[in-house]
Amino acid sequence: MEKQSIWSWITTVLAGLALFTAGCQAFAAPYEYKGNLLDPPVPVSDFELRATDGSLFRLRDLEGKIALVFFGYTHCPDVCPLTVAKVQHALAGLDSADRERVHFIFISVDPERDTPEVLARYLGNFNPEFIGLTDDFAETEAVLKSFWAYAEKEQLPEPSANHHTQGTSDQAQASPAYLVMHTGRVYLVTPQRELWLTYPSELTAEDLQSDLLYLLKQKSS
């Protein structure tokens, strides 16, 4: 085979390999979301609740950005602090530009105890940039229903006077003996105000961060 023919053959083979590789990439497996995907996404109605700084927060204030919505309360013994910590860990792994495009909204389902000061202090222990909302429960309940979420008080047994000091009794009166049973999911709302993903309380920071990075990349490309 002449030298020119050999180079022509090699060039043809390389071109074929390039086309084959491009084809493989085109048919590569699509990204698999770690959260529970709603397809098609569900439009989320705008809402208005009081923020910890006294201002009125509206969901449309975050238009063009991703919102992570969570319903919880500061006296929650387990799910709430663990979930908020996971969200903080996931967001901490984003660069500053991406971080500015994601906002975490903590909506209290226990406004009786979660005063603006209490909620602001609680969230400040995780990230002072987190948005805390605490308003009349009737207003909050309407938002809960729009996310198909729920919250309901569960009274705890009254403590026996024989096993508590006076100081403890005073504290119990100041902080009613009840828990709030509530939906413990994180809801991802797109910049177009559509509910796209939900995450159970068992979510991992790594999974949430992976989905966020993918979404942020799609929006910037």
Please name the residue ranges forming H helices in 46-203. 79-92, 96-99, 116-124, 137-146, 166-174
pLDDT at 117 (0 to 100): 98
Mode of pairing for the β-strands spanning 56-58 and 178-182:
unpaired
Q: Is residue 103 part of a domain?
A: yes
pLDDT score at 100: 96
Structure confidence by residue, pLDDT tens digits, 173-190: 455 589 999 999 999 999
Q: What is the pLDDT of residue 165?
A: 46
Which stretches of the chain are DSSP H helices? Answer: 3-26, 79-92, 96-99, 116-124, 137-146, 166-174, 205-220
Measured CA distances, 133 to 18, 138, 154 (Å)? 54, 13, 22
Position 58 in a domain: yes
What is the C-alpha to C-alpha distance for residues 7 and 38, in angstroms, rounded to an integer?
53
Positions in the chain whose pLDDT score sits under 70: 1-28, 159-176, 219-221
pLDDT at residue 8, as a whole number: 59
In a domain, 16, yes or no: no
For the chain, the domain total comes to: 1
Residue 113 sits in a domain whose CATH number is 3.40.30.10
Domain that holds residue 93: 36-220
3 part of a folded domain:
no
Within a domain: 7: no
Is there a domain that residue 51 lies in? yes
| Alpha-carbon span 187 to 180, nearest angstrom | 19
Task: Examine residue 214 and state whether it is found in any structural domain, yes or no.
Answer: yes
